[in-house]
Structure 1
Amino acid sequence: MLFNSIEFIIFFVAVLTVITIIKHKKFQHLFIVFSSYFFFYFSSNYLLSLLIFSTLLDYYIAKLIWTTQNKQRKKILLITSLAGNLGLLGFFKYADFAIMQFNILGNQINIGGGIPFLELALPIGISFYTFQTISYTVDVYRGKLEPSKSLREFALFVAFFPQLVAGPIIRASEFLPQLREKIEDSTSKINLKQIIIHNSNLKLGITIMAFGFLKKMFFADNIAPLVNAIFTNPIEASSFEIWLGTIAFGIQIYGDFSGYSDIAIGAALILGFKIPRNFNKPYFAISPSDFWRRWHISLSSWLRDYLYIPLGGSKKGSGRTYFNLLTVMFLGGLWHGASWNFVIWGMLHGVYLVIHRVIANKFPRIANSEFVRTKTGKIISILITQYFVFLAWIPFRVHDTEGMIYSMSKYIFFDFEFDEIIEILLAYKIPIGFMIGFIILHYISFRKSDLIKIIINLKLKYWGIILAIILSLIVFFFDGNPEDFIYFRF
């Protein structure tokens, strides 16, 4: 069920209606759980069983880990959880990829390679809810989190429909306490054991959702034709077209994915839950590490806490630090999809992080100079960082090796033929207009650090006018066919 479909709007309104009728939090939670299962079943059918399996596996294993005193048994239980979760993820997401690599290798060394593909359906959201349940079990194992005492609560944490399919990846330590706290009704000043849909939450949630729909349906979906036209077959495209397509894809994927996250955050807020932000103006990052503090924040923080730090982080010398960075980004790339292009994308970012760390270690005066902190220094840092960030978007978008190498070479060794630029700009004038509009909006949101807060503090009529403008823009340019979110594939 796509967020940008009429089915979701009907579904969400129905959920809100029932929530306001049910007066006890326990039954409200149960209803949201079953609503989430329906949401998942609507798109994935029988694959709902995998979500339920992961829920039951980690709920009961975490309880056993918490109660046992034997360290060896704790480790065995944790390994069982990891094997169950990663086994399902690996089988459904990477089995055909592994078979392909085996067949290629077999043909190269003349031992045959005719293993048939399994052609398994990829369960939507499996990469996201698997990481959520893993973090829960690991936190219990580390003694940082007491296991949930209610299967109802844990099932809601795992299956919560706003962020189920494409995140943000939420932590049990952030979400479970929200299920237990009492909500104060400001009109009666008493604590009620139920979910209250406050006017403030409703206004803020609707505003965040509106901007999410704007990013996805107005900007990303209308920029997509330019990206597809250039990168479906990039061979023979001019250097300027490659640059234009690369910038367009960077804007498209940001609008698409951050749009999804905004809709998820807004919908959750309306229901009375806070889930963490997933993006913070990433195209104004001043370094590779700063980019990953701003882009897909829930994933980058998960990789830091559950991979990078356990591997030793930066505490075991420079060489080990560089190895850890490359390993984490390799796995982060592979997490995105069973294809070498995602591995290349992840490794490029790993190399960026290593180079940035080397410069900071070897030339601390440059890294900490006054010039870097000036306006000019920040602008130069942003431009250099984004040059390499957008370079990495090419292997993310172009899957075939020949097209990828060609596109990256045209991006790096650009040879603009200026007599063609006007012709290309005119040919793609409509999507370029959307690109310019998005850049302006992104810049305004950067300059006004909390644009959403400014809007919700407006008088009701002005707030309503802004929402009406956003809705009109979306409806006017919507062709009636909702486009998939890019991260649904991961």
Structure 2
Amino acid sequence: MLFNTIDFVVFFVIVLTSITIIKHRKFQHLFLLSVSYFFFYYSSNYLIVLLIASTILDFYIGKEIWNTKDITKKKILLIASLAGNLGLLGFFKYADFAILQFNFLGNYFDLATNIPLLNLALPIGISFYTFQTISYTVDIYRGKLEPSRSMAEFALFVSFFPQLVAGPIVRASEFLPQLREKIGDSKIGTKLRQITIEEKNLKLGITIMAFGFLKKMFFADNISPFVNEIFTNPIGHESLTIILATIGFGIQIYADFSGYSDIAIGAALILGFKLPMNFNKPYFATSPSDFWKRWHISLSSWLRDYLYIPLGGNKKSKNRTYLNLMTVMFLGGLWHGASWNFVIWGVLHGVYLAIHKLMSDRFPKVASNSFFKSKIGKIISVIVMQYLVFLAWIPFRVSDIDHILYSIQKYVLFDFQISGVMNLNSLHKISIGLMVIFLVLNYVSYKKYNLHEIIYRLKTSYWVLFLTTVMVLIVFFFDGNPEDFIYFRF
């Protein structure tokens, strides 16, 4: 079920109405679990069994890991959890990709291999809920988390519908305490806090969701036609056109993905749950490491805690640190999709991180120079960093290797031709106009810190005007065909 459809609006209104009618917290949880499964089944049909299988597997393995004192048995159980989860993820997401590579190598070495593709359907959200359940068992193994007290509680953590399909990736240590929150004095007695639709959460949640819908349906969806036309076959386009399309895709994917995150966070907040921030003005990053503290924060922090640090992080030799960075970003790229272009994107970011770390190690005085802390120094750092970030968006968006090479060449080696841009049709000029507007608003949001809070604090009349404006803009530019969120593919 897409957020940007009338189906979701009706669904969400029914959920809110039902929650206010159901008074008992336990039944509210069971209701949310039921509607979360319905939400997933609506889009994925029988593939819901994979979600249920991961839930059952890690619920029981988590309990066994906690209860056993034998460290060897703990390790075996953890390996079983990793094998089960990564096995499902690997089979459904990477089996056809592996077959293609095997057939290619076989033909290259004249082995005449031609294994037929399985053509498996990619389960929506599998990359996200798999990482959530893995973090659960790993945290129990590390002794940082007690296992969930009931199957229903754990199942709701895994399947909570606002963030089920495309994150943010939520950890059990963040979500489960919200299910267990109690009220009352321990001397008198305590009870589970009932889910109530509070006015403050409702207003702020609607505001955040409105920003999400605006980003997705007004900006991302109306910039995508220009980006799609250029990158479907970039051969022959001049540098300025390629650069504009690259900037367009950078804005599109940010508006699309952060828009989804906003809708998810806002919807959860209305229901009384707090989800972690997933974006923090990433296009104002001053370094590769700073970018990954701002972009897809729930994924980058997951990769740090469950992959980079276990590999040794920066506690080993310097060369090992660089290798760890490259390994993490290689796997991070592959996590996004079974295609070499995502690997190239991940490796590029790995190179950025490794070079930045190398330069910081070799020239610490330069890194700490007051110039880079000055206003002009920060501006230069932001410009250089975003040049590299947008360069990496090319292989993320373009899958054909020849098209990637051509686009990167035109991006890096400017040819000073503008005839193609001058001949763009009116729809594409609108897309470019929206890109400019988005960049201006992005700058304003950086200067004003938090537009969500500013809009929320407006007088009711101005707040209603803001919501009305958002709806008018969306309806006016909506063509009647809701587009998938980009991260639904991952």
One fold, TM greater than 0.5? yes
2:353 maps to 353
Counterpart for residue 433 of structure 1: 433
CA–CA distance in 2 between the matches of 1:423 and 1:215? 27
Distance in 1 (alpha carbons) for counterparts of 2:57 and 2:243: 47
What SS does structure 2 have at the residue aligned with 1:293? coil
Corresponding residue for residue 170 of structure 2: 170
> Which residue in 2 is equivalent to 1:120?
120
Q: Give the aligned partner of residue 308 of structure 1.
A: 308
Secondary structure, aligned partner of 1:211: helix
**What are the superposed Cα offsets for residues 424-468 of structure 1, whole Å, 9 maximum, x if unpaired?**
486731101110111111111111111111111111111111111
Given the superposition, is the C-alpha separation of residues 419 and 400 from structure 1 closer, same or farther in structure 2, using an over 3 Å criterion?
A: closer
- Which one-letter code corresponds to 2:303 in the other structure? L
SS at match of 2:381: helix
The residue identity in structure 1 corresponding to 2:286 is I
Runs of 4+ in 1 over 2 A off after TM superposition: 190-193, 418-428
Decide which moves more: 465-474 or 123-132: 465-474
State how far apart, in whole Å, the 2-side matches of 1:372 and 1:489 are.
Answer: 38
Separation in structure 2 between the aligned mates of residue 421 and residue 128 of structure 1, nearest angstrom: 39
Match of 1:187 in 2: none
Three-state SS of the structure 2 residue aligned to 1:101 is helix
- Which residue is equivalent to 1:56? 56
Corresponding position of 2:98: 98
The one-letter code of the counterpart of 1:279 is F
Q: Which amino acid aligns with 1:44?
A: S
CA distance in 1, matches of 2:402, 2:192: 62
Aligned equivalent of 1:219: 219
Correspondence 1:39-438 to 2 at 5 A: 39-182=39-182, 193-418=193-418, 420-424=420-424, 428-438=428-438
1:279-314 deviations in Å (ceiling 9; x for gaps): 001000000110000000000000000000000000
The CA distance in 2 between the partners of 1:192 and 1:412, in whole Å, is 58
Structure 2 letter corresponding to 1:359 = M
Question: One-letter code of the match for 1:180?
Answer: R
Query: How far did 1:423 drift?
Result: 3.6
Gaps of 5+ in 1: 185-189
Task: Report if aligned partners of 1:55, 1:155 keep a CA contact under 8 Å in 2.
Answer: yes
SS in 2 for 1:178: helix
Q: Distance in 1 between matches of 2:405 and 2:29?
A: 50
1:325 offset after TM fit, Å? 0.0
Instruction: Tell me which amino acid in the other structure corresponds to 1:93.
Output: K
Distance across 2 between alignment mates of 1:155 and 1:183: 23
Q: Distance in 2 between matches of 1:192 and 1:105?
A: 59
Distance 2:124 2:424 in 1: 37
Matched, 1:24 2:24: yes
Change (3 A) 1:479 1:137: same
Residue 238 of structure 2 contacts residue 418 of structure 2 at CA under 8 Å; is this kept in 1?
no
How many residues are paired up? 485
Is the 1:106–1:113 Cα contact (8 Å) retained in structure 2? yes
Contact 2:181 2:192 in 1 (8 A): no
Q: Pairwise CA RMSD of aligned residues?
A: 1.3
Q: Please, which runs of 5 or more residues in structure 2 have no aligned partner?
A: 185-189
SS in 1 for 2:310: coil
Q: Deviation per CA, 1:319-363, whole angstroms, max 9, x where unpaired?
A: 000000000000000000000000000000000001111111111
For residues 153 and 471 of structure 2, what CA distance do their matches in structure 1 show? 35
In the alignment, the residues of structure 2 paired with residue 389 and residue 378 of structure 1 have an alpha-carbon distance, to the nearest angstrom, of 16
Maintained 8 Å contact 1:183/1:194: no
Deviates more, 1:333-342 or 1:456-465: 456-465
Q: In the alignment, is the contact (CA less than 8 A) between 1:425 and 1:432 conserved in 2? A: no
Does the CA contact (< 8 Å) of 2:237 and 2:420 recur in 1? no
Q: Give me the identity figure in percent.
A: 71
Q: Distance in 2 between matches of 1:28 and 1:313?
A: 42
Q: TM-score, normalised by structure 2?
A: 0.97
Q: Which amino acid aligns with 1:274?
A: K
Structure 2 letter corresponding to 1:472: V
Cα distance, 1:110 vs structure 2: 1.1
Tell me which residue corresponds to 2:187.
none
Query: Match of 1:428, SS?
Result: helix
Q: Deviations over 1:378-415 (max 9, x none)?
A: 01000000000000000000101111110011111111
